[in-house]
Structure 1
Amino acid sequence: PNLAVRKRIGAELREIWNAASLAKAETSLAELVTEYRDTAPKIAAWLEENVPEGLTFFTLPKHHRRRMRTSNPMERSVEQELKRRTVKVRVFPNEAALERLVSAVLVEIDDKWAADTKAYIKWECQDA
């Protein structure tokens, strides 16, 4: 599909993910699939097959939904740290050296997150 169609589909998907409830999201998804079934059958089939799995975050408590819907903040920090560390080295003698550095960085990030008192999600929270 062209850029305009992709942008429109992206906006429509955001509306589904921002729905007030799972039932409303499923209804909006069904309407979207119906809308594209004749004009873009591949897109309709993809939406029907893949998007319902992405709606499982609606089963979480409301206060966790926004954070669980995307992992972009976590991914961004990991990617930035990996890039920062690997750019400094520039040339690795072999693939194993690169894997060792990346593994060490990921272990370091995991240790930091495990010890961090500011958890990304506090599971003990109650709905407000």
Structure 2
Amino acid sequence: MQNAMHYVPKVAMRAEVATDLRNVFNSPDRHEADRMLTQLVKKYADSAPDLSAWMEANVSEGLTVFELPASHQRRLRTTNTLERLNQEIKRRTRVATLFPNEASLLRLVSAILSETSDEWETGKVYLTMPNSPPENGTQRKASGVPRGRQ
């Protein structure tokens, strides 16, 4: 959404463009979202040709979220999780202020990412994955071999 605003020629148009794009991503399914996107490209072709070209080239990539299960779409259609992670990295690296070399910065960021990954794996469930293996890793192979003989 923020990237689109760079292509809006008039400040007065920003609210309308934001609403129009939001409606595309709030569509009930991919077919409807594609139809609405096509209408938007035509709508802004004359008044904002750069925006129209940008939408045609980039927005359809964001619509792949409609291929996910409906229960996941709401959480994964935004970059909020990624933005929050970047904020946390920035906050924790600001405390150190000065790194003796690039490797020390990389070690700190790697530790932050590892800690975050652990929290995501063991903390509150953000998404429930119906086809994920059991927690203890004891899922049996579908080989037809009786349990215990694998």
Q: Please give the TM-score of this superposition, normalised by the length of structure 2.
A: 0.72
Aligned to 2:116: 109
Matched length: 123
- The match for 1:52 among 48, 55, 60 is 60
The one-letter amino acid of 1:111's match is D
The code of the aligned residue for 1:64 comes to H
Distance verdict in 2 for CA 1:25–1:106, change over 3 Å: same
Could you say which structure has the higher helix fraction?
Answer: 1
Pair 1:87 & 2:97 matched: no
Percent of matched pairs sharing the same residue: 45
Larger relative contact order (CA 8 Å, sep ≥ 6): 1
Runs ≥4 in structure 1, deviation > 4 angstroms? Answer: none
Q: 2:125 maps to what in 1? A: 119
Give the 3-state SS of the residue equivalent to 1:4 in structure 2.
helix
Match of 2:85 in 1: 78
Name the aligned partner's letter for residue 119 of structure 2: K
Q: TM-score, normalized by length of structure 1?
A: 0.83
- From the CA coordinates, give the structure whose radius of gyration is larger: 2
C-alpha distance in structure 2 between counterparts of 1:98 and 1:4, whole Å: 42
Post-superposition shift, 1:3? 2.2
- C-alpha deviation, 1:67, in angstroms: 0.9
Instruction: Provide closer, same or farther for how the CA distance between residues 80 and 48 of structure 1 changes in structure 2, counting only shifts above 3 A.
Output: closer
Question: What root-mean-square deviation, in Å, do the aligned CA atoms of Structure 1 and Structure 2 show?
Answer: 1.9
Pick aligned residue for 2:104 from 97, 100, 107: 97
